[in-house]
Structure 1
């Protein structure tokens, strides 16, 4: 191994940027640095005190650094060994909670989940938030809300559905129905009865699209093969809602969407009625901060949200987005830059990125 006092990096622009990221403790997926005086390799973003620059070497993989004689850092776990163990423990806890909710039993408390996983309570709480992106309590609440929605949609009486889902009282669900379900329990049970959704259609360079709008804002922007299928998809989601032709606001919204597709510039600024869990909404708000023409990968977006092990949870939240373009999930790509799943088709995702890139250039 080279002497520690000898400069070990070339001061070119690429490594200048990596060094600046190291000092900021900024996570950069797929890039690592080794500290020659300590003999360890770390991921960029490691919480350890930054080393002297002359003692740093940069690598494209942990395997390359290990071959050069460095051992993985115990703090940032660049190989992901501990992260895999933590993720498995969290998945097991999630499975326990799902089983309890499905059976109509009480959700295990945090102390019991931590004991089963073999961690101290406070440590397991931190691990769960890192992996899942939410606390165990929030995850359990989302499971209860899902079970409640399924029971109501199946026609159960509200009181029975509330009890079987594990909510303490019917009044609590009614008081906070918008947060729990996106509408009142009675409306869910009636398949959206009482909801009025105005729809407008247009033909874009990416194919037919539909905008659905409630009194609160746009709740749906969907691409499809034709108007009939788009309308049928909305009707399946809200079988008893009143779906009516566009009013002035909905017509204006679809015109703005079509204009944006023709010339994508900046954010598509529309009043939105986003319906999802607290975590999903948090991810969707982060998506809206990605500028047109830019992309991030799932791991990077998870790191921005303070959950470095939460790439899969972020991907699921992206997949649950039903408001194309205004919530630009098409700007999230794989770590290698490859295009991953898009509910409106990979071809549309690629076309959108090309359009935005051409506009930016």
Structure 2
């Protein structure tokens, strides 16, 4: 007995009263500390836990603090099977986020933030921060996007608009219309009708990568596509919006076309025009990650997956890149295979290689930063190389 007490005494790191109080508050609130890694053991059960463990809160008198799990083991404690302090911390976080995402995406009644946080063993405020850091949006935003995806699927199956709204989990038409405009770019009835009632302006122009189609809804650019045949480009747009009104653009659209052509010539300049991005939550997260890749750099599909917190979703990332409809503006051409190979590109590998070569040259150019900000964009008229048809 005496030997055991001595072993415990040497394993427990001395903790000042003020620090012990701070650690105990972290245990009570089930949150890790940003500047202090620690674990706590419960003398009545001889179990060691992380501060965020969802298990029942122990009595303060029964808690001992440790700097490492090994120190707790030396003192005779075994790792908790719920929070698994002996495993890398990220694994537990990912599991919590995956469970929360599954509930938000599948449950008919949206679970509350408090319920999700309690299941994860965290305070609501801390869970909100962890979720947004790991998923990229708040739990509320994720739930909205999940309902939008269900709404889109129901409408595509031909369900009546009212039935689709309630099947997707909305409480009524008003919130459904707000989410549909954000994620589908149009009201549910218009989406079900193939874009009926929507007006999409479009124009074709010459670029040094072939003909390019530029199309826009009232919300912003919805399509930038390369091709060799104007009729095929228009047919592709019509296939996306079979019942929308496609209007050839007038001169007021010339500035947008010129900006797109300037972007193709100098991708590093960016595009200061609104985009009407229509896709699932996952696709939008991938596309946001693509827009954060600087011109002149490339990343692999696996790297993109890691950046959005989904390291096992490499194939899904490739699918999102393939679904991109805004060439160069959403630079999916900057994503390559793990071995550096070009991999696929909706508008052809030759164009992908040309864009990457152009960006590499621009990155290496010594006078790149000295170019006038407005050079290449001719407001009120088409780019000199443009020929709208």
Q: Distance in 2 between matches of 1:98 and 1:288?
A: 26
Secondary structure (helix, strand or coil) at the match of 2:224 reads strand
Deviation at 1:203, TM superposition (A): 4.5
Q: Deviations over 1:225-271 (max 9, x none)?
A: 64444333322221210123232244553344335434555223434
Q: Report what 1:221 is aligned to.
A: 224
Q: Distance in 2 between matches of 1:91 and 1:226?
A: 45
Cα RMSD, aligned residues only:
4.2
After TM superposition, the structure 1 = structure 2 runs for residues 245-324 of structure 1, keeping only pairs within 5 Å, are 245-264=248-267, 266-276=269-279, 288=291, 291-295=294-298, 309=309, 315=317, 321-324=324-327
After TM superposition, the structure 1 = structure 2 runs for residues 41-120 of structure 1, keeping only pairs within 5 Å, are 81-100=88-107, 105-114=108-117, 119-120=121-122
Q: Distance in 2 between matches of 1:276 and 1:308?
A: 16
Q: Deviations over 1:28-61 (max 9, x none)?
A: xxxxxxxxxxxxxxxxxxx769xxxxxxxxxxxx
Q: Deviations over 1:74-124 (max 9, x none)?
A: xxxxxx943244324433443344343xxxx323444544565x5335454
Do the aligned partners of 1:134 and 1:279 also contact (CA within 8 Å) in 2?
no
Does 1:212 find its partner at 2:212?
A: no
Do the aligned partners of 2:147 and 2:170 also contact (CA within 8 Å) in 1?
yes
From 126, 132, 135, give the equivalent of 1:132. 135
Q: Report what 1:196 is aligned to.
A: 199
Do the aligned partners of 2:136 and 2:308 also contact (CA within 8 Å) in 1?
no
Q: TM-score, normalised by structure 2?
A: 0.57
Secondary structure (helix, strand or coil) at the match of 1:243 reads strand
Do the aligned partners of 1:269 and 1:326 also contact (CA within 8 Å) in 2?
no
Deviation at 1:321, TM superposition (A): 3.8
Does 1:350 find its partner at 2:357?
A: no
Do the aligned partners of 2:201 and 2:249 also contact (CA within 8 Å) in 1?
yes
Does 1:230 find its partner at 2:233?
A: yes
From 186, 209, 218, give the equivalent of 1:183. 186
Deviation at 1:336, TM superposition (A): 7.6
Do the aligned partners of 1:299 and 1:309 also contact (CA within 8 Å) in 2?
no
Q: Which blocks of at least 5 consecutive residues in structure 1 are unaligned?
A: 1-46, 50-70, 72-79
Change in CA separation of 1:354 and 1:95 when aligned onto 2, cut-off 3 Å? same
Q: Greater Rg, structure 1 or structure 2?
A: 2
Q: Distance in 2 between matches of 1:128 and 1:175?
A: 23
Do the aligned partners of 2:146 and 2:281 also contact (CA within 8 Å) in 1?
no
Deviation at 1:144, TM superposition (A): 0.8
Change in CA separation of 1:308 and 1:243 when aligned onto 2, cut-off 3 Å? closer
Q: Which blocks of at least 5 consecutive residues in structure 2 are unaligned?
A: 1-33, 37-67, 69-86, 366-389
